[in-house]
Each structure stands twice: as structure tokens, then as C-alpha cells.
Structure 1
């Protein structure tokens, strides 16, 4: 939605008219405003970057700049827009564009492309289509066409994406790998990896060489299809096409994951070594990925080696890094290593993260160490406010599997007393409790359990089926069960009818 021109905006019309197209304020403002201090002359980009931290309205801030005679350069605004988009703040980025439009700043084809993408993210695909259709033919460039294609692909609009792509081909706007990559990414998201190789063939027919992103998705598609021969052929072609320089982080990441899944650990490790050479040491996520994949191929020494590199490069180890390491050690069944990492984190953490406790609880229970798991849970309850739903469910599942239903019910009662409306019950836990009631022929317990479940959400067909099975096991009638199902709009299929006939004739 376009904002109306404010009174403050109209106040600067004369200044704007005199300004150069790429800046607002500039020399025109300098003629009537005293020389600025160094502080006032700092770039608008820096001031705008702090706006998100301080809060405030975009229009008021930009108008204040012009009122103070501070040059507002288009380059600064576009740079800030790109930053906002990168940090997933499309609405604020769009506000900058709307302000620029009110100031009659000319947009390039790439500017229109960015704005179109922001409109799609903020107002939806239809709004993006309308914006594209409103553009003059002179501004419908390769960038704007490509941006709309990307929108179609992101939304999974396969037919629209294909039609738009064909139109771009007719207009000779498909001259690089990007449009093909968009289609490939869409096919992978839609679960159609088999369509990727055909797009590579079509690309080559247009004399367009695959880029590193193309190779990465091509390899990924082969991996999904379990076509290891295809993976090897893509690698050979990639090497012939440009050697290692054509290989990106994503390429080796996909290779490592594919080989790991196939149990080809030596090849997976070779890919990880190549991956490490291309990683950005300033990005924690690079280390996280390596730790996870080394754990996936059961290489504990490499897990610890990368962990040491991470701590050396980023001495202030955050929650995400500790969580990654705990999950990796859990895969390796290294309970002693986990205990050490968890104890160190727990003693120094600024914010207690229940995800860490959940990993510890799960790993202890896997080793049948219930007391240790419960100790972690009790400690977490003293140090944070939750959420405890996953931890409680892990403990309850373990207790039910080990015929300790009484203790499991105590956790259940505690969860109910906490009245956590965000609790999400797993179907596995509901089934385990129901099996306990069925085996013990405890109709009253089952009914009370189901009544409590409705605090969070209505019972579904599966839960009613489990309840009815408890009645059948107890050989008890329930004349009102059919009416209950009808009131809850539960479909009574042939199987359900068979169960009902046994308890409410």
C-alpha cells in the first residue's frame, strides 16, 4: 500500500526538485545550511542501520535527515534495503522504497527487481504480479522478469513459473544459469528431483554453462534419487569444466551428506576435507555443519578437532554451538563427553536453553540412566521458566516403556497443573498412555486422561479409537459414545463402526 504524501514531505519539495537524482539534500541543502559537523556528515546508511535497534518510523527518520540538510544518497538507501532484506525485514525495506518513490527518485531495473521481491514477501504473489504488470516496458528488464520468476518458484507455482520462463526465453532474457537454478530449486522443494537433469540439458542447449549452484543442485538431485553413478558423473563433468574452482561450499556439503547416507565414509570424509578448505572461518554455522557431518560418519576425533577450532576462532561459545556439539556427541553415544560439555555450558551460560537439557535427557534415557535424566530436568526447572513439555514427554515415554506408569502419570499431573497452553502432545505418547489404560482395563483413567487432553485441543479420531479399545478390553458398555463422536464431527468409518458395535449397540 502506498502512503499519502505527508505535510513534512511536501515541505521539502523545493529542495528535492533541486537535488540530483541520486541524492536528496546534497549541494542544494548546503547552500542554505551551515557546514555540518563530522558527526552530522556520517553516512545515512550508518544512521539507518541503528534505526532497527532504536525503533522508530522510517518516513519520519528519513524526513528528519532531509530537514537537517543531511544528504540522503540513493546508494545508501539501496544498501540499507538490501541489509533489511538479508535480515528478513521486508516490510521496513519496502517502506524505504515507498519513501523513495514519493521523492521521485528514479529506479533502475535491479531496483524494481528488489522491490518486486519485497512486495511478494510482504503482500503476496498477486501484489507482486500487479506491480510487475504496472511497470513500463522499458523497466521490464531481465532483472525484473527474473525476480518474478523467483517469486513463482519460491511459492511453488510450477505452471506460472514455466509459462513465465518460456516468455523470458522468447524475449531472449535467459542468458545465464540463474533462471534455470530457480526452476531446479523449485523442483527440489516440490519433491521432483527427477526434473533437474532435464533442466541441465536444456541449459546446455542454450550454450549456458552450469555454475557452482547448478552443480550443487544437480548433485543433490542425484543423491535424492540414490543415483550414486550420476553423482560421480556430475563430479567428473564439474572437474572437466573448471576443476575445484567450480566447486562451492554447497557442492561439497551435498557430496558429504550423500556419501554419508550411502555409508561411503571415506568419500564423505574426503568431501568434508574439501569443504573445510572452502569454509568461512568467521561463520559459526560452518563449524556446526562440519561437526554434524563428522558425527554422521562416526568420526569422533574429527568432531573434537573441529570443536577445538570453533572455540579457538570464537572464544565466546554460544548456545547454538554447544547444542550442535551435544547433538553430535549424542550420535556418537559419547555420554561422558556430553556431560562435560553440558556441565561447562550450564555453569557459564547467560540464557538457559531447554534444548540443551532435552538433548541430555534424551541421551541419558537412551542409556537407561533415568536418575541422571531426571536430575537434569529438575535442575532445568530451577534455572528457567520452560518450556518443559518435550522434556516431560521424554521422561513419560521412558517410564511407560519400562512399566512405570504411576511415575509417568505423576509427570502428566504436573504438566496439567502447570497449565502450559503451548504444550504439544505427541501421538506416540498418547498411544503409550492409552495402551497402558487398555492393558490395565482402566476405563476411568482413560476417560480422565482424554478429558485432560481436551484442555489443549479436541480429541481426534485416533484418540477416540484408543479410548473405545479400552472400553472393549474392560468389557464395559458406553451407550453415549456414538453421540459424542457425532458432536465432535468424528467420521465413523467401517472400522470405527465395528468398535462401536461392541460398546454401544
Structure 2
């Protein structure tokens, strides 16, 4: 553990200030929610009995190192073993619903370590939590595929808001409600991001008391509440959970949702609450803080590592992934390599996902040869036998501009591709502006799977948005609707990008607003931010404030980065921003250097040489 913390201080050699921390048992809530482009000057103090040790303050800009097509999963395996069995799942990801199990790791944001830089959601992260139910009992068809669930079919066919009556009818007709089928249905609803229907089903189960509920059931409902109705509603729900089921799994679920929504203050409060309740401090909880601070305040990473060292908490593979990613974000390649060496010294060999993170950051730092060496190592001697690796290689080679390599890797998959490989290929060809090739892959998907999901259509829609092909994008949206696909927040985000790239920000705004009203679903953070940026650039104060308000209404915590964009609208409009400092204070946002500079420009009462003369 000492070695890993020592590796975390390598930024000292980059001329950064050293701070002091103590081994901690409590985090004092941060007084500010900082933006990604700076280090907080208000680090929460960490208290304990141990003597102070030097730690480092991480200073960086935020460039989320998106790597792997994966999702935020409730107590799922962070390092996602890439076995053939997992890759043979319908959409290439395994539902590891062993919530709180000994081998489970984080409600991780793999989207924060994903391959697509444009999909950084706070992405709500489309940062997804998987169902807490285990699906080990999932029924299989004789051919090895998923057996059709009649309950799932009934719920999917049911109009929004009618799940309770649908399930009442299901019981009245004499159908059984089995835990194994409920697990499967919840799993599939989450995969389709049908969180509203999943929440209604969870509420119905709790009301009817047909099944004996477990802590994981309550945690699942809490997670869905956090997604659909916000953190406060989820936190309030805890009081209604029977005390015997109000355990660590419930609170770690709340903690992970706080992290996924980048609510620093609330995340630290929940972490402290878990300590107050005397839950054992786990790598899971620490990794959540690491994940949070990796995004908003890297200097606090060293404090968390010191805590882990003092509490004798062994780093998990995902701990190392976060640290590697944090080093890569600030282009500290030597520090990144040092973390890898420490990882190996602890007997943990980098897996494919970790290697993908390394390759991405080598490429970003201009070390293309090192990146290619890692990619060749990932590929191995026989790529056909390890075809599942192709989904990682395709976007990484595209990022290096290697059109020939993308074509070569796709040839390995083309005769019998899995869904994730197709999605990666569409993304890769889109990055290379090879729209026709991306369309050909999509046609292969249509022929092979007949019924595609909204996620599959959205992959091509992103390509059209990236290449400013508005007409084709509209045609695809119509095709998507005609196919019966449910259009949700991920698709809305692509539609917003499509219109924004075409210069039609008002259209993007109205589409997002109508979609939210019709579907009663929460848009992605990035969707709002794209529109806000456009209005701010125009100096459109009215519409900038409108989007800012909608973000607040949707439950997104105010952050320095959002305020910076909002203030930029006032600057571009050459108008003062009355009461802006008070608004920041009310939201517990501490102005950093960049934000303070912007505030000075819109201060209605600032003194200048001319104003002094006039006074």
C-alpha cells in the first residue's frame, strides 16, 4: 500500500505544491463543488490519530479518458472478466448482480474510463447501475439464448404508467410471480434504460408483498429512485426501509449514485454516515471517492490512498485503473507507468481494459509507438480466438487515425460479429469520417438481429451528428421510431448533438424539452450542457438562464463549470450579472481562479479608472 501511495505523489516532481493529510476516519464536507478544470482550494480535512504525512495536490484539466463500452453497475465486478461466456451475452455485458459480495467491486463508472470521449456523462455518465438481483437463475433457451419471458413482454408492451395494473392483471390471470423471472425482467428493463417501468415494478412488488424482499431489493428501488426522482427522494426512501434491511448495500448504492451525479457534498456526507453507522470501510467505498475526486479534485486522491493505507484496505484492480486514468489525464506518463509497476508488484496483471486505458493516454500524450505496442499486446497472437478484444481495439486504432488497422480488425469480426463489435466498428468508422463503412456495419446488424435497440440506432446517429449530416440523422430517427424503438435520454443526447452540430440550437432545445415532458424522464447532463454552451457563446442570457434552471430542476448539482458557462453568456452579452456571487455562495460553489476572473468581468459594482473619475 505504501508503494501505491508513493506512486501517487510522483506529481511532486512536476512542480506542484505538497499538502498535508492525516489518516482519516471522517471527511469534512467540501464547501464547494469544483469544476473539472482545477483543483479545489478547499480540500476536506481528514482526521485521525496518525502523524501527518506529506501528500500531493493533483492539479489538472479535465479530459475524461473514456475507454471501454461498459456501464455503471450496482456492486458489479469492476474489472469485468472478459470471458467468452460474458461476451456471448446479447449486448456484450454481464449482469453481475452479487451486490455486496466479497468479490464485487464498485458501482463503478466505467464510462469514466470508456473509449468514447464524447460520451462523458457525468454521463449520467449514462452511468448505469445494474440490478441488484442475481440472474444466475436466468432461464436459457435450448439453443443457448435467452428464453422469452412472458412477463417481460407484457411489461414492455404496457403503456408508461400502467405497470401496476399490468402486474395486477398478471396475478389475476393465475400467473406466478417468481423471483428468477423478476430478476430477469429487472435486468432487461435496466439494459433498455427503462428505469421508469423498473421503478413501477419495484414499487408494486414492495406494496403487494408477493415476494420476501431482501436488502438488495430495497437497494434496487433506491437506485431507481435516485435515477428517476433525484438523490433527495432516494435518501428519504431509506427511512421507510425496515431497519434490519438498512445495511451497507443500501448506503453504498446511495453513495454510488451521489458519485455518478458528481454531487461532492452529498457523497462525502453519505461516506461519513456509513462510518457513523460503523459499516466496515471497504475498497468499494474508497474507490467511489477516488472515482469522484479523479473527476473534480485530484489532490484529494492522495488523502483517500492514505486512508486506505491506515485502514489496511487492499487496493482492488479498479483502484489501479482509477489511478492510471488520473495520471493519464494530466499527461503524467511516468507516474502512470509507475502505478502499473506497483500494480504488477502486488501480483495484479493489467487486464484488457487497463491496457486500453494505457493505450489511450499514450496516444493522447503523442506517444503513438507506445500506444501501438500496447494494442499489439492486447491483440495477442491469434485475434480470431480472442475476437472479443476487437471491440476495444477498433476505437483505439481509430483514435490513432489508423484506417487500415481498423479495416483489418473489422475483417476478423465481419463474418460473425457480436453486437458490441458492431457498435465499436460504427464508432470507429465515424471517427475516421468513413460514413459509408459505418452504414454498412449497421446494415449487417439489421440483417443479423432484425429487431435493434435504441442504443444500436444511436450509434449510427452519433456518426451522423459528428459529421453534420442532419438529413440522414432525421431519416434514421424516423426509421427508429417506425421500428418501435423506445427513444430515451441516450438517443435524445444524440439528437441534441445532431441539431447543435447543424447550428440549430433552438431546435435542439425544443426537442429536448418536448421529449422530457412526453416521457417524464431525466435528460443527460451533457445534453443540457451542449445547449447551454451554444446559448452562452451567443450571449443569449435569457435562454442560458432557462437551461441552467432546467438543469437544477432535473437534479443536477450546480458546479463551477456550469457557472463558468453561464457567466460567459453575460460576458458575451456585455451585461453585468447581478447577485451572481450570492448565487454561488448559496450553492456552496467556491470560486476558483478562473471563475473569479469571470466574476470580475460581470461585477456590476466593480471600480475602474473611468468609474472613479465619474464618481
Q: Which position in structure 2 is the counterpart of 1:144?
A: 250
SS of the aligned residue for 1:144 comes to helix
Question: Is the counterpart of residue 254 in structure 1 residue 357 in structure 2?
Answer: yes
Q: Give the superposition deviation at 1:345.
A: 7.3
Question: Is the counterpart of residue 116 in structure 1 residue 219 in structure 2?
Answer: no
Show the 5 A alignment for 1:334-483. 338=434, 341=437, 356=463
Q: Which ranges of structure 1 fall in alignment gaps of 5 or more residues?
A: 1-42, 331-337, 362-375, 394-414, 432-459, 466-489, 499-505
Question: Is the counterpart of residue 106 in structure 1 residue 212 in structure 2?
Answer: yes
- Does the 8 Å CA contact 1:249/1:279 hold for their aligned counterparts? no
Distance 1:461 1:239, change over 3 A: closer
Question: Is the counterpart of residue 46 in structure 1 residue 152 in structure 2?
Answer: no
* Higher mean C-alpha deviation, range 122-131 or range 73-82: 73-82
Superimposed CA distance per residue, residues 347-399 of structure 1 (whole angstroms, 9 cap, x where no aligned partner): 999789676566667xxxxxxxxxxxxxx999999999899866766xxxxxx
Show the 5 A alignment for 1:166-315. 166-189=272-295, 191-244=296-349, 247-276=350-379, 287=390, 289-314=392-417
Distance 1:132 1:293 in 2: 42
Distance 1:419 1:145 in 2: 37
Over alpha carbons, which structure has the higher Rg? 1
Distance 1:428 1:161, change over 3 A: closer
* Higher mean C-alpha deviation, range 83-92 or range 420-429: 420-429
Question: Is the counterpart of residue 65 in structure 1 residue 191 in structure 2?
Answer: no
Distance 1:301 1:213 in 2: 32
- Does the 8 Å CA contact 1:119/1:128 hold for their aligned counterparts? yes
The alignment's C-alpha RMSD in Å is 5.0
Q: How many equivalent pairs are there?
A: 360
- Does the 8 Å CA contact 1:287/1:310 hold for their aligned counterparts? yes
Match of 1:133 among 239, 242, 246: 239
User: Please, what TM-score do these two structures have when normalized by structure 1?
Assistant: 0.57
Q: Which position in structure 1 is the counterpart of 2:83?
A: none
Q: Give the superposition deviation at 1:81.
A: 2.2
Bigger relative contact order (CA 8 A; separation at least 6): 2
Distance 1:463 1:313, change over 3 A: same
Distance 1:147 1:384, change over 3 A: closer
Distance 1:99 1:378 in 2: 43
Superimposed CA distance per residue, residues 32-72 of structure 1 (whole angstroms, 9 cap, x where no aligned partner): xxxxxxxxxxx998112213442243223322332233321
Q: Give the superposition deviation at 1:259.
A: 1.0
- Does the 8 Å CA contact 2:155/2:163 hold for their aligned counterparts? no
* Higher mean C-alpha deviation, range 208-217 or range 54-63: 54-63
Q: Give the superposition deviation at 1:253.
A: 2.1
SS of the aligned residue for 2:369 comes to helix
* Higher mean C-alpha deviation, range 87-96 or range 159-168: 159-168
Distance 1:316 1:193 in 2: 36
Q: Which position in structure 2 is the counterpart of 1:159?
A: 265
Superimposed CA distance per residue, residues 245-302 of structure 1 (whole angstroms, 9 cap, x where no aligned partner): xx34432222111111112223222333444569999999964542222133344442
SS of the aligned residue for 2:174 comes to coil
SS of the aligned residue for 1:134 comes to coil
Q: Which ranges of structure 2 fall in alignment gaps of 5 or more residues?
A: 1-145, 447-456, 479-494, 513-530, 540-568, 575-601, 611-615
